[in-house]
Amino acid sequence: MIIQNQLILKPILTEQELFSLLQIIQQSRKVVVCAHRGPDGDAVGSSLAWAEYLMSLGKQVNVIMPNPYPDFLRWLPNSHIIQYYLRHEAAAQTVLNEADLIFCLDFNGLNRLQEMGAAVSRAKADRIIIDHHLNPDTAMAKMVISYPDKSSTSELVFRLIHQLGGFDNMTRQCATCIYTGMMTDTGGFTYNSNDPEIYEIISLLLTKGIDKDKIYRNVFNVYSVDRIRLMGYIMYEKLQFHAGNRASIFTLTREEMKRFNFIRGDAEGLVNMPLQVKGMRLSISLREDTERDVVRVSLRSVDDFPCNKMAEQFFNGGGHLNASGGELPFPLDEAVRTAERAIAAFADQL
């Protein structure tokens, strides 16, 4: 006799929480969905999927982000509806002021919005956080839906739609956005992705007609020749090894970006490459921001090395165990010294 073990998605909200969320949504008419500055695949995918769900309920929905997302996400269904605060500040402020509900997706505090944070704070609308980062600012929202143990905010959006009874009417476009967010925030399901329910969710998304192979190609196989040359340059010329080849640092200057015709999104994934070295536990990327006088920091690790703790202690940031980020308000050479001090401080964990 063959016994099949059928997985059932565990609800993430209690009945009372579900009722409260439904009540807040039902009482709203004009809704804003916003995500963090420097939006990645999870921020964009979860926002578009949640916006489509809210529209299906008859809500007037605007999606606002502080600045543009990477070029390799432009193919996402309905991505054209996203507005950028830094490009159209007055119009975005008007939309925020007129909203009666604001969803804050994939960020845990208004500081992640930077310039847009003050505008969201001034808005009179109730705020709801949907996020998977540690330490959410509970004071900023009427309701906080935060699960740091989940792979992505896109996974949370799927679980919410499923629990709210919206799965049957989910479109292929919505499912595509959710899968893209889950895939990008787990490095193609190579980290933070051991929960069996993730793959049940994927199987359900596949029933909506998504083409997961095409999604992968659209995200990861669209590099320009310049981007490939930049990747080779960084790996050959810029990569520095530390702690007995268990940690690495590389830098990228504005001048180097100009040399390789850098476009938004070209830095995505570069920080993961040093982890292909046998025994490597930690990779740190230090990149001069193209818009502000700061150095953007990305950290990736394997196994139990705590990127999030290092980001909090040394880089004014945070994130997840194996993937975190931050920024430093001083020149690149000083940022390198800070990274070296961080590696030394965490040497016993490498």
Nearest CA-CA partner of 268 in 43, 33, 88, 46: 43
pTM: 0.90
Which residues of the chain are under the pLDDT cut of 50?
1-5
106, two tokens: 């994939």
Q: What is the DSSP pairing of strand 247-252 with strand 282-288? A: parallel
Tell me how crowded residue 116 is: count the other CB atoms within 10 A of its CB.
24
Domains and CATH numbers, the chain: 15-219 (3.90.1640.10), 225-349 (3.10.310.30)
Residue 64 in 3-state DSSP?
A: strand
Contact between residue 240 and residue 250 where contact means Cβ atoms under 8 Å apart: yes
Contact between residue 106 and residue 153 where contact means Cβ atoms under 8 Å apart: yes
219, two tokens: 């995200």
Round to whole Å and give the CA distance between 169 and 147: 25
pLDDT at 7: 53
Question: 212-220 and 196-206 are packed helices; what angle lies between their axes, rounded to 10 degrees?
Answer: 100
Query: CB burial class (10 A; 0-12, 13-18, 19+) of residue 232?
Result: exposed
- Kindly provide the residue ranges of all beta strands, DSSP E only, lying in the chain, ordered along the sequence: 30-35, 60-65, 82-84, 101-105, 126-131, 143-146, 240-242, 247-252, 282-288, 295-301, 318-319, 323-328
Q: Give the pLDDT confidence of 156-196 residue by residue, as tens digits.
A: 999 999 999 999 999 999 999 999 999 999 989 988 899 99
pLDDT at 2: 43
Contact between residue 200 and residue 7 where contact means Cβ atoms under 8 Å apart: yes
Q: Which amino acid is at 236?
A: Y
Task: Give per-residue burial for 118-156: e unless 16+ CB within 10 Å, then b.
Answer: ebbeebebbbbbbbbbeebbeebbebbbbebebbbbbbb
pLDDT at 4: 46
Question: 89-98 and 115-122 are packed helices; what angle lies between their axes, rounded to 10 degrees?
Answer: 30
pLDDT at 101: 98
